[in-house]
Amino acid sequence: MVSDRLTLGFDTSAAHCAAALLSGDRVLVSRSEEMGRGQAERLLPLLEEILAEGGATWRDLACIGVGIGPGNFTGIRISVAAARGLALALDIPAIGVSTLEVIRALHGPASLPAVPAPRDQVYIQRNGATPSLVPLADVSGHSLPPPPARLAETISRLASLARADSPAPAPFYVRPADAAPARDLPPVILDDT
């Protein structure tokens, strides 16, 4: 077992499942898998593989870092729910890290973070303002997210630097989900009496 603080970070905010285990600032294991579907079924087995390869167990963790988006609505919920559940069970902090924070950490505070979105759009954050969804054609000089494994590594790194009493991670949505309530009237429930 490594003596430095172990941080496990992961992300499923796009078409991937990515995770990294850090000891202090040193990457022990980092892996990502491209996938359009199946993150919910793959995430925990991937985390267990990462821990085993790093020679650690769940109880060795000091902190969990999780990608909170912006990105795929369902993917974000998968990671955030897993992180909160693990943190509760292990009695360790879970720290939410946005992809915009990761980009800024890698490209500098003056960068223009941009996260790809559906329909040729991007989520951007100008000068720390509230993020917005804009057409990709309207943006130039932007910085995109790193490859998924590096994204997970940076999430781990930023989480390990955060305060342990940070609020529990929550999904970071720039816009509401595409899903909408049914427009049909609900069915009539018959009473047996």
DSSP string, 30-49: EEEEE-SS-HHHHHHHHHHH
Task: pLDDT tens for the chain, 193 residues: list them.
Answer: 445 799 999 999 999 999 999 999 999 999 999 998 999 999 999 999 999 999 999 999 999 999 999 999 999 999 999 999 999 999 999 999 999 999 999 999 999 999 999 999 999 998 878 899 999 999 999 999 999 999 999 999 999 999 989 999 999 988 776 666 667 777 777 777 6
In 59-131, DSSP assigns E strands to 61-67, 94-97, 114-117, 121-124
Residue 57 near residue 51 (C-beta atoms within 8 A): yes
Residue with tokens 């505070």: 109
Q: Which residues lie across from 135 on neighbouring strands?
A: 121
The separation between the first and the last C-alpha atoms of the chain, rounded to the nearest angstrom, is 66
- pTM of the complete model: 0.89
Domains along the chain? Answer: 6-107+147-161 (3.30.420.40)
Task: Using CB atoms within 10 Å of the CB of residue 145, give its burial: 0 to 12 exposed, 13 to 18 middle, 19+ buried.
Answer: buried
Instruction: Determine the Cα angle at 44 with ends 43 and 46, to 5°.
Output: 65
Instruction: Determine the Cα angle at 159 with ends 154 and 165, to 5°.
Output: 170
Amino acid type, 52: A
pLDDT at 2: 44
